[in-house]
């Protein structure tokens, strides 16, 4: 039995997320359907991260088991010729038998992109959140530093009735500006639900002056979602890379 590793890119706009669901078409479902047609048996994909509805990926990783002897290169060609333009495979290889895309991942790197100008872009509107008012990048950088390390991120966890662990270690967090784009990069082994989008929404509130400088430490310590900023739009979020 072979264990095949894929690196997947997708535009998540039209999908209900990575994971197969009953309420819509997922990236996983489309990929599994194409693989079944190519390999002539049912396929179950294991993904490194369960990106939500509307979230994109440039470096999602998945693996699956198959008895097929079709070379990896031919599987790649067949997949990319049958997949929709919104999903493509950038790399494929035979992995070790025990490789698991989800459990073997050391860290995941996400990027939240803000387009900070008056008008949207016809080329980037699907992949960035438009914020028209000026944002203070220096304040955003300073507040982001508070989140580095191991903390209880209850203040940035989605409010619902499901109890989830809220302790996360952020390995890296960086806020950068390139022309009219502000990127928020966050790397961690795991994340609480909606964590990156909630952090992005909170940093925007600091950047526009609604939250006073120095307030991030109080928000984090309070463990209260209501004190943080709004959940930023899903379309600005992208899974850039999974590290093993």
Catalytic-labelled residue, pool 11, 52, 94, 118: 52
Q: Is 12 helix (H, G, I), strand (E, B) or coil?
A: helix
List, as residue ranges, the binding site for substrate.
110
Strand bridging mode 87-95 / 181-188 = unpaired
Q: Give yes or no: residues 120 and 234 share one domain.
A: yes
Cα gap 56→233, rounded to integer Å? 12
Residues 6+ apart with CB under 8 A from 82: 34, 37, 38
Give me the chain's average pLDDT, please.
96
Number of domains in the chain: 2
Q: Is the pLDDT of residue 9 over 80?
A: yes
More confident residue, 14 or 22: 14
DSSP structural state of residue 233: P
List, as residue ranges, the binding site.
110
69 included as an active-site residue: no
Q: Give yes or no: residues 33 and 118 share one domain.
A: no
User: Which of 95, 121, 138 delimits the end of a domain?
Assistant: 95
**CATH of residue 225:** 3.30.70.660
Q: Give yes or no: residues 116 and 18 share one domain.
A: no
- Portion of the chain with pLDDT greater than 90, in percent: 95
- pTM for the complete prediction? 0.95
Q: Give yes or no: residues 237 and 143 share one domain.
A: yes
């Amino acid at each position: 039995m072979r264990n095949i590793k894929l690196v997947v890119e997708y535009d998540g706009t039209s999908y209900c997320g990575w994971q197969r669901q009953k309420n819509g078409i997922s990236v996983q479902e489309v990929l599994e359907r194409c693989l079944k047609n190519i390999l002539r048996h049912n396929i179950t994909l294991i993904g490194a991260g369960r990106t939500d509805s509307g979230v994109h990926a440039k470096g999602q990783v998945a693996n699956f088991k198959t008895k097929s002897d079709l070379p990896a290169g031919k599987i790649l060609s067949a997949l990319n010729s049958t997949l929709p333009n919104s999903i493509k495979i950038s790399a494929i290889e035979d992995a070790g038998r025990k490789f698991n895309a989800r459990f073997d991942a050391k860290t995941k790197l996400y990027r939240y992109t803000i387009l900070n100008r008056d008008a949207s872009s016809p080329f980037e509107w699907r992949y960035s959140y438009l914020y028209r008012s000026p944002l203070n990048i220096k304040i955003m950088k300073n507040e982001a530093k508070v989140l580095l390390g191991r903390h209880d991120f209850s203040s940035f966890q989605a409010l619902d009735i499901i109890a989830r662990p809220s302790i996360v270690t952020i390995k890296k967090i960086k806020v950068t500006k390139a022309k009219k784009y502000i990127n928020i990069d966050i790397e961690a082994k795991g994340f609480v639900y909606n964590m990156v989008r909630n952090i992005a929404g909170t940093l925007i509130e600091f950047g526009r002056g609604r939250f006073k400088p120095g307030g991030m430490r109080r928000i984090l310590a309070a463990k209260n979602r209501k004190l943080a900023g709004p959940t930023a739009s899903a379309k600005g979020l992208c899974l850039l890379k999974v590290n093993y």
